[in-house]
């Protein structure tokens, strides 16, 4: 994994991203993790710190992981893209990675998955699902239903950023139900309290 990190950190395959990046955002967590989360690409906070999911969406993901009874240190978190997509002419905001950028960078993620061999993968958001499964057409159809990727069960769910934009209890519950399915797949104990999170009173 250290050798792979070195190769990714020195990558120059996308010159426009190399020019604009501050850091390559490789991945973080336990390289022997049973559970791996995959997002789409680093944002400004991640680019600055060199770590995935450290902004507001990342803090929410950390809370979800803790509610599962796990920690960032016991799972592995990575993105399809290791560099922040450049935003020429924009002083803020992020953009979706292009399909070419995802194809170019995907071998690093595939190598990470092959080294870690997690028991379950979670794809966070439509772009991550597109990058892994090549499936477009919205996350609504795939969310909550296990897929298979490299012989590993893959749970597509909403990106934490979506939950920050849509605070409805029903949407939070959807993501939590997906996590309960993940916990069951991992044969983790699920308490009554955990089972009842975000159910309308």
Question: Secondary structure of 76-124 in the HEC alphabet?
Answer: EEEECCCCCCCCCCCCCCCCCCCHHHHHHHHHHHHHHHHHHCCCEEEEE
**pTM of the shown model:** 0.96
pLDDT band per the 50, 70, 90 thresholds, residue 193: very high
Mean pLDDT of 187-198: 96
Is the distance from CB of 108 to CB of 52 less than 8 angstroms?
Answer: no
Task: Tell me how far apart the 2 most distant CA atoms of the chain are, in Å.
Answer: 52
**pLDDT value, residue 120:** 98
Summarize pLDDT for 33-48 with one digit per residue, the tens: 999 999 999 999 999 9
**pLDDT value, residue 94:** 77
Q: Which residues pair with 152 in a beta bridge?
A: 149
**pLDDT value, residue 1:** 96
Mean pLDDT of 8-35: 96
Is the distance from CB of 23 to CB of 44 less than 8 angstroms?
Answer: no
Mean pLDDT of 145-158: 96
* Residues contacting 150, CB < 8 A, separation 6+: 110, 113, 114
Residue 87 has pLDDT above 80, yes or no: no
């Amino acid at each position: 994994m250290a050798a792979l990190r070195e190769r990714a950190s020195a990558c120059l395959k996308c010159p426009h991203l190399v020019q604009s990046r501050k850091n390559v955002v490789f991945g973080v967590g336990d390289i022997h993790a049973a559970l791996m989360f995959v997002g789409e690409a680093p944002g400004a906070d991640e680019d600055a710190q060199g770590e995935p999911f450290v902004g507001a969406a990342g803090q929410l993901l950390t809370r979800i992981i803790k509610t599962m009874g796990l920690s960032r240190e016991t799972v592995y978190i990575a993105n399809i893209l290791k560099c922040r997509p450049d935003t020429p002419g924009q002083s803020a905001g992020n953009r979706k990675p292009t399909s070419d950028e995802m194809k170019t960078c995907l071998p690093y993620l595939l190598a990470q998955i092959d080294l870690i061999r997690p028991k379950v993968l979670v794809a966070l958001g439509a772009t991550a699902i597109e990058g892994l499964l090549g499936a477009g057409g919205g996350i609504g159809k795939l969310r909550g239903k296990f897929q298979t990727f490299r012989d590993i069960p893959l749970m597509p769910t909403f990106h934490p950023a979506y939950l920050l934009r849509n605070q409805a209890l029903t949407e939070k519950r959807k993501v939590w139900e997906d996590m309960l399915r993940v916990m069951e797949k991992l044969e983790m104990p699920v308490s009554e309290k955990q089972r009842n999170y975000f159910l309308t009173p």
